[in-house]
């Protein structure tokens, strides 16, 4: 059936109409800006094609005898109604007190300390202290480990076996390697937190005095991933213990041969606050099925059918309202009336979530608040959706938005009855966004062997970032501790949240 006309009747709900007006005003401002940019671009192209190439200004100039009066400026457009957001001040922030300090004192000479009037010595009555935040470039150093050897000279004189003793060497992340845990932690943080590719690290370390090849750096990083593998397995087990987790994926270029790999991210709940990655050589349902094997909790995810075996095995799918909103946002140019009405209804759902967050509601209280405030909005949305789906062309943007929302509706309303769930899958999208930045810098993964290593190191970096710990100090600590632990040892104290409490 044809699309509904743009003059479709407005909803009776005043709050929904207000949200529609706000969305329409924002769209008008956006379209006005787009038109102005396009007009400027068109004028530039017309001048380049048909006009003079010189930069002479046409029309009256300052040197004309009687310049025409300036036209009156058009009245300003009405300002869209906006929510006032108070931002913190832009003044200078206080300097960190825990940074090391160097004191430089500038004193007068003995001759300058003498009074020019009477010649007596002037007495110090105070000092002005000026603070400046300064910087010292990073540096490499060689750590020498000296292990003295002791022998018994008495036994040696008597011809007995030499009784020698020497302290054992300290465990190292890479046995007989050339790098200590501090430098290895710097390599990992630089690539997987700061997203520096190894060829840039090669140049940076060369300026610091270490002439090292990129292949050597790659080997050191992959060896560290093998050391951190037991901690990665613990992180994965803890994420799978979550009552509700978030899942998403993004493509990554894979070489040898060139193809597209995928990075799957799994974000644990508040009781298991860790973020882990699983890198695979494709996007097939077997990968989330293998990672979530035996999981019976809730999975926040989009409508990707690859998760269906996980749901069939006992997990519960929780839909994402952010994906629904994205569909309607992309349809607002083709069908602005219905798209803005849908966006207004979704805005009311998020307003209820924001108010609940301001009240610090959790658990059963949050579920009750959602049923009271979001329940009527969801019921009205469902009735409106049932009316509009048959009227929309399936292949149009608005039709795709309606069909996606209708197909996902049982999963979209699930969050309202459980305080452990969230309205969308934003935690997974936020966790995977840094990977999109990283792949623009290091471009690709060299081969299948780098998939497991990348998953381990990305997971350690993401979990450390989630707890706002110093990533270099944390990675250096676990690279120092893990080689000394026997296989199968308890590594709970090496989790980022446990380490943060100990470090504090």
187-233: pLDDT as tens digits = 999 999 999 999 999 999 999 999 999 999 999 999 999 999 999 99
**Residue 84: band (very low, low, confident or very high) from pLDDT cuts 50, 70, 90:** very low
Do residue 334 and residue 351 come from a single domain?
yes
Let me know if residue 454 belongs to a domain. yes
Do residue 306 and residue 230 come from a single domain?
yes
> Distance between CA atoms of 199 and 264, rounded to whole angstroms?
26
Domain boundary among 424, 451, 478: 424
**Residue 138: band (very low, low, confident or very high) from pLDDT cuts 50, 70, 90:** confident
DSSP string, 33-90: HHHHHHHHHHHHHHHHHHS-SS-PPPS--TT-SSPPPPPPPPPPPPPPP----PPPP-
Do residue 286 and residue 405 come from a single domain?
no
The reply to whether the predicted model has a pTM over 0.85 is no
Let me know if residue 376 belongs to a domain. yes
Segment among 155-159, 182-186, 278-282, 456-460 with least mean pLDDT: 155-159
Which residue is listed with tokens 């803005």? 340
Let me know if residue 330 belongs to a domain. yes
- Domain of 266 in residue numbering reads as 180-313+440-504
Segment among 20-29, 377-386, 392-401 with least mean pLDDT: 20-29
pLDDT in tens, 282-315: 999 999 999 999 999 999 999 999 999 999 999 9
Residue 72 has pLDDT above 70, yes or no: no
- Total count of domains within the chain: 2
Radius of gyration of the chain (CA): 32
Let me know if residue 429 belongs to a domain. no
Do residue 416 and residue 447 come from a single domain?
no
Do residue 290 and residue 400 come from a single domain?
no
Q: Which of 222, 232, 157 is nearest to 187 (CA)?
A: 222
Domain boundary among 381, 397, 424: 424
Do residue 374 and residue 290 come from a single domain?
no
Task: Report the residue count for the chain.
Answer: 504
For residues 467-475, average pLDDT: 96
């Amino acid at each position: 059936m044809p699309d509904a006309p743009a003059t479709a009747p407005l909803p009776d709900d005043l709050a929904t109409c207000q949200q529609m007006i706000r969305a329409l005003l924002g769209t008008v401002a956006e379209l006005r800006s787009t038109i102005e940019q396009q007009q400027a671009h068109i004028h530039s192209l017309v001048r380049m094609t048909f006009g003079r190439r010189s930069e002479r200004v046409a029309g009256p100039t300052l040197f004309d005898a009687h310049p025409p009066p300036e036209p009156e400026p058009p009245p300003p457009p009405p300002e869209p109604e906006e929510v006032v957001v108070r931002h913190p001040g832009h003044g200078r922030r206080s300097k960190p007190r825990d940074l090391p300090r160097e004191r430089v004192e500038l004193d007068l000479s003995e001759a300058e300390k003498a009074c020019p009037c009477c010649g007596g010595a002037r007495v110090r009555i105070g000092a002005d202290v000026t603070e400046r935040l300064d910087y010292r470039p990073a540096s490499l150093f060689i750590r020498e480990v000296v292990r003295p050897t002791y022998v018994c000279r008495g036994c040696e004189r008597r011809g007995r076996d030499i009784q020698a003793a020497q302290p054992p060497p300290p465990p190292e992340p890479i046995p007989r390697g050339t790098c200590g845990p501090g430098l290895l932690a710097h390599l990992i943080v630089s690539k997987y937190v700061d997203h520096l590719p190894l060829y840039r690290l090669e140049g940076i370390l060369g300026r610091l005095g270490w002439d090292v090849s990129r292949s050597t750096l790659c080997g050191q990083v992959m060896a560290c991933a093998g050391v951190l593998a037991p901690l990665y397995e613990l992180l994965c087990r803890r994420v799978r213990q979550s009552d509700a987790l978030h899942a998403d994926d993004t493509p990554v270029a894979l070489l040898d041969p060139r193809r597209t790999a995928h990075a799957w991210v799994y974000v644990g709940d508040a009781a298991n606050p860790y973020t882990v990655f699983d890198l695979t050589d494709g996007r097939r349902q077997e990968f989330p099925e293998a990672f979530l094997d035996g999981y019976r909790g809730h999975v926040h995810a989009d409508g990707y059918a690859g998760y269906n075996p996980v749901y069939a095995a006992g997990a519960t799918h929780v839909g994402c309202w952010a994906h629904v909103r994205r569909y309607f946002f992309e349809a607002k140019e083709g069908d602005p009336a219905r798209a803005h009405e849908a966006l207004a209804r979704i805005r009311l759902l998020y307003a209820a979530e924001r108010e609940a967050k301001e009240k610090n509601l959790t658990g059963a209280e949050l579920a009750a608040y959602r049923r009271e405030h979001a329940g009527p909005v969801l019921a009205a949305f469902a009735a409106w959706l049932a009316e509009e789906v048959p009227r929309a062309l399936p292949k149009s943007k608005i039709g795709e938005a309606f069909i996606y929302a209708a197909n996902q509706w049982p999963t979209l309303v699930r969050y309202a009855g459980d305080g452990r769930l969230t309205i969308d899958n934003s935690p997974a999208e936020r966790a995977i966004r840094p990977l999109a930045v990283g792949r623009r810098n290091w471009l690709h993964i060299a081969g299948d062997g780098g998939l497991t290593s990348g998953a381990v190191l990305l997971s350690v970096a993401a979990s450390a970032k989630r707890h706002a710990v110093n990533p270099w100090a944390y990675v250096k600590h676990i690279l120092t501790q893990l080689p000394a632990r026997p296989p199968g040892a308890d590594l709970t104290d090496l989790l980022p949240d446990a380490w943060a409490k100990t470090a504090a």
